[in-house]
């Protein structure tokens, strides 16, 4: 069938909440995607930081196929071995004490929110307690996670939201202190803001918020959905700081394309919820957990974190060369393989040109930032090729 026919059928059928690019993808291999016309694309978006191990990973496919033949789902009324394996591995790499598997990132954030509320309730705080979140954050689309997302554009049409959320300026400790009161029960933030434009938390900020939480017996909740799973050059981005959260969320790259997330907690946060407080039908089923478990094994076997540090440094150098060369590039930020280039102009036309003309998949974060979140298994030659196609697109569109 012709590409245009697929697109027309999709637009006819799907609820209209996305403006999609006119490409229909068919299959993937490594760091490349192929469309229904057989054209090859170099992917520096990884399905929005999901495909850490790239496309078509043989070991992962084999583990998933094996599980399909055995058992896909049983509900959480029973135990299953892939969930036990995946859970233990996740606790080991995170240093947390308890895990709950979810179906998505937004549900993992809902879990963090419920931990904060349950903790405040147990402490006997009045129900008007408050949670401090960050401006320009992104935590998901469900009502709780949306309430924590510091973006008026996303929030406004869906008000009223969860009450008691106050927004501080990211990396501005004074702004957190200014919002603090005896009602504050938790602080939530991304360790590296993703959607908001690739802003890593500073050492002083994260340490300062941790100290405030300790001083006032509040919980520090870190959203590692985008920056976690090796992407920052640490298994979880907070591990690059001298700070440990009370609870954290994971998703995106955890299942390498299989929808699975988790929230993890330790100490008092790990004990906050009790039987009956939370649950899920699909969450942690054997099929998704065999994927998460295998992904965690492969991260270790393939030494993904070390690879990210090496390739992250290489990507940094290549992007810096572009910053030197082109006046339309205003700033370069990030860590490991989560980097952002800020342009002086809107990047929409550039992203479209790169995709359609150069067959390079890039994704934006906000109107004038390009976010580089490639598969973690990229090689130097892929970075070179990306830089070449990006430069060609910059010259075609913005100069």
**106 in contact with ligand PLP (CB under 6 A):** yes
DSSP 291-354: HHHHHHHHHHHTTHHHHHHHHHHHHHHHHHHHHHH-TTEEEEEEETTEEEEEESS-SHHHHHHH
One residue of 94, 147, 191, 226 binding ligand PLP per CB under 6 A:
226
* Between 137 and 398, CB nearer to ligand PLP: 137
One residue of 225, 229, 361, 376 binding ligand PLP per CB under 6 A:
225
Q: Which residues pair with 340 in a beta bridge?
A: 333, 371
Near ligand PLP by CB under 6 A, which window of 69-77, 220-228, 229-237, 316-324?
220-228
Task: State in angstroms the smallest separation of the CB of 56 from ligand PLP.
Answer: 22
Backbone angles phi, psi at 316, to 5 degrees: -60, -45
DSSP 347-373: SHHHHHHHHHTT-EE-EESSSSEEEE-
**223 in contact with ligand PLP (CB under 6 A):** yes
Near ligand PLP by CB under 6 A, which window of 2-10, 71-79, 110-118, 219-227?
219-227
Residues comprising the chain, all counted: 399
Radius of gyration of the chain (CA): 21
Task: State in angstroms the smallest separation of the CB of 138 from ligand PLP.
Answer: 5
Task: State in angstroms the smallest separation of the CB of 191 from ligand PLP.
Answer: 9
Closest-approach residue to ligand PLP (CB): 105
**194 in contact with ligand PLP (CB under 6 A):** yes
Rounded Cα gap, residues 329 and 324, in angstroms: 8
Contact track, ligand PLP, 144-173, x by CB under 6 A? ------------------------------
CA distances from 53 to 231, 234, 378 (A): 11, 15, 9
Q: Are 334 and 311 in contact (CB under 8 A)?
A: no
**138 in contact with ligand PLP (CB under 6 A):** yes
Near ligand PLP by CB under 6 A, which window of 3-11, 70-78, 133-141, 264-272?
133-141
CA 276 to chain centre: 28
Near ligand PLP by CB under 6 A, which window of 158-166, 218-226, 283-291, 374-382?
218-226
Task: State in angstroms the smallest separation of the CB of 246 from ligand PLP.
Answer: 17
**109 in contact with ligand PLP (CB under 6 A):** yes
Q: Are 197 and 343 in contact (CB under 8 A)?
A: no
Task: State in angstroms the smallest separation of the CB of 104 from ligand PLP.
Answer: 4
* Between 144 and 286, CB nearer to ligand PLP: 144
Rounded Cα gap, residues 151 and 377, in angstroms: 32
One residue of 67, 80, 104, 232 binding ligand PLP per CB under 6 A:
104
CA distances from 114 to 98, 119, 145, 321 (A): 15, 8, 11, 45
* Between 110 and 246, CB nearer to ligand PLP: 110
Rounded Cα gap, residues 232 and 239, in angstroms: 9
Structure tokens at 394: 């910059």
Task: State in angstroms the smallest separation of the CB of 60 from ligand PLP.
Answer: 19
Q: How far apart are the first and last CA of the chain?
A: 37
Task: State in angstroms the smallest separation of the CB of 38 from ligand PLP.
Answer: 30
Rounded Cα gap, residues 106 and 348, in angstroms: 26
- Chain residues that interact with ligand PLP, rule: CB under 6 A: 104-106, 109, 138-140, 190, 194, 223, 225-226, 251-252
């Amino acid at each position: 069938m012709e590409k245009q026919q697929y697109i027309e059928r999709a637009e006819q059928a799907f609820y209209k909440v996305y403006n999609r690019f006119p490409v229909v993808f068919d299959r993937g291999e490594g760091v490349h995607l192929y469309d229904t016309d057989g054209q090859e694309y170099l992917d520096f978006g990884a399905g929005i930081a999901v495909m850490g191990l790239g496309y078509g990973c043989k070991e992962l496919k084999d583990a998933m196929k094996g599980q399909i033949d055995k058992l896909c789902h049983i509900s959480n009324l029973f135990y299953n071995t892939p969930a036990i394996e995946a859970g233990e591995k996740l606790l080991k790499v995170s240093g947390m004490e308890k895990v709950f598997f979810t179906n998505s990132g937004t549900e993992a954030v809902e879990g963090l929110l419920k931990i904060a509320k349950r903790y405040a309730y147990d402490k006997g705080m009045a129900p008007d307690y408050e949670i401090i979140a960050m401006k320009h954050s992104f935590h998901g689309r469900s009502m709780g996670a949306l309430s924590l997302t510091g973006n008026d554009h996303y929030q406004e049409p869906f008000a009223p939201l969860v009450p008691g959320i106050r927004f501080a300026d990211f990396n501005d400790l004074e702004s957190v202190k200014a919002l603090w009161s005896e009602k504050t029960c938790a602080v939530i933030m991304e360790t590296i803001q993703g959607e908001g434009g690739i802003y890593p938390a500073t050492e002083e900020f994260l340490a300062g918020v941790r100290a405030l939480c300790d001083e006032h017996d509040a919980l520090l909740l870190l959203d590692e959905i985008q920056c976690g799973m090796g992407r920052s050059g640490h298994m979880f981005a907070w591990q690059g700081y001298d700070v440990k959260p009370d609870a954290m969320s994971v998703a995106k790259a955890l299942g390498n394309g299989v929808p699975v997330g988790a929230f993890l907690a330790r100490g008092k946060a790990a004990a906050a919820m009790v039987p009956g407080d939370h649950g899920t039908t699909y969450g942690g089923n054997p099929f998704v957990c065999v994927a998460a478990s295998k992904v965690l094994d492969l991260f270790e076997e393939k030494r993904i974190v070390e690879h990210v540090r090496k390739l992250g440094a290489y990507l940094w150098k290549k992007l810096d060369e572009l910053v030197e060369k082109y006046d339309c590039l205003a700033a370069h930020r990030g860590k490991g393989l989560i980097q952002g280039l800020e342009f002086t102009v809107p990047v929409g036309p550039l992203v479209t040109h790169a995709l359609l003309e150069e067959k390079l998949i890039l994704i934006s974060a906000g109107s004038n930032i390009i976010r580089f979140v490639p598969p973690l298994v990229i090689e130097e030659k892929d970075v070179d090729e990306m830089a070449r196609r990006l430069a060609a697109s910059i010259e075609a569109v913005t100069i």
